[in-house]
Amino acid sequence: MMRNAFWAEQSVIVTGGAGFLGKHVVQALQERGAKRVFVVRSAEYDLRHEENVRRLYQDVPATMVLHLAASVGGINANRNHPGSFFYNSLMMGVLMMEHARLANVPKFVGVGTICEYPKFTPVPFREDDLWNGYPEETNAPYGLAKKMLLVQGQAYRQEYGYNSIHIMPTNLYGAGDNFDLDTSHVIPALIRKCFTAKQNGDPYIEIWGDGSPTREFLYVKDAAEGILLAAEHYNGAEPVNLGSGTEISIRDLATLIAELVGFTGEFRYDPSKPNGQPRRQLDVSRAREAFGFSAQTPFREGLRETVAWYLEQVGAQQA
């Protein structure tokens, strides 16, 4: 009951609430008994412009902001749009936090990204290593824009005593993900490629890079749970990783997805295309100690649900 009582008293602004992660966060808020949840729509409030952000806080008296909005995508999208990803993500974050402070919104939850880490971070990634190098080049503009939310929050805490926290989820996956091959991340891209190849009887699929990089994946419902636990219980200045603590290579991931989709062809790797960061795996102890979060969904089970959701969507489109 205490959890529901907490959220029943809140008036929450969710930016990016119509996106992949945002929809799950909004659903989790509703399940917790949140009565006043305002999902920001870009058509109504373009958050890159100050007058719209100011108007948002005038229109919606809030006690908390969950700031998820960003321009985001996989390696290809980051390579093609580094300028817009940087500008959009930075401006939305800076303006949302500044005007939350000016409007006396008691708490700001900034959702960052694993892309903030240096390219060659020792594994597992510890939050204390965040500043020991430059991020991986293909997603550095996006990662650094999100990292400025951390800097801003810590500076505002120091000067104004403002309660801003910074959460860094690892790669997310799950139902409702983006399956557009031009902009998607690796899991939806592989699911779609395997499914299409199976449908067409193609003998192989192409995969960017050499298959050696590792990634850590967090089921999107677990990520939403982690963000809301942090919103409820965490009020610290230090950034916090949000992950599952498990690591898998792209090569092993492709094999697992092919098995779940039923694709029996081969993989052809293209080493002329970028690998992205060599390894990603998080130290998840701070989230566990600070607000009791640990991922609950086994990876294979989460993947199976994601594949099932995609096949359902394809079936619905073909019906």
Q: Which residues are designated catalytic?
A: 142
* 3-state secondary structure at position 271: coil
Task: Look at residues 58, 49, 310, 41 and name the one whose alpha carbon lies nearest to residue 194.
Answer: 310
Tokens of 65: 């902001």
Convert 30-75 into a string of H (helix), E (strand) and C (coil).
HHCCCCEEEECCCCCCCCCCHHHHHHHHHHCCCCEEEECCCCCCCH
Q: Taking CA 217 as the corner, what is the angle to CA 204 and CA 139, rounded to the nearest 5 degrees?
A: 80
Residue 55: phi and psi, rounded to 5, are -65, -35
Residue 50: phi and psi, rounded to 5, are -60, -40
Q: What is the DSSP letter of 210?
A: -
Convert 118-161 into a string of H (helix), E (strand) and C (coil).
ECCCCCCECHHHCCCCCECHHHHHHHHHHHHHHHHHHHHHHHHC
Q: How does strand 163-169 pair with strand 11-15?
A: unpaired
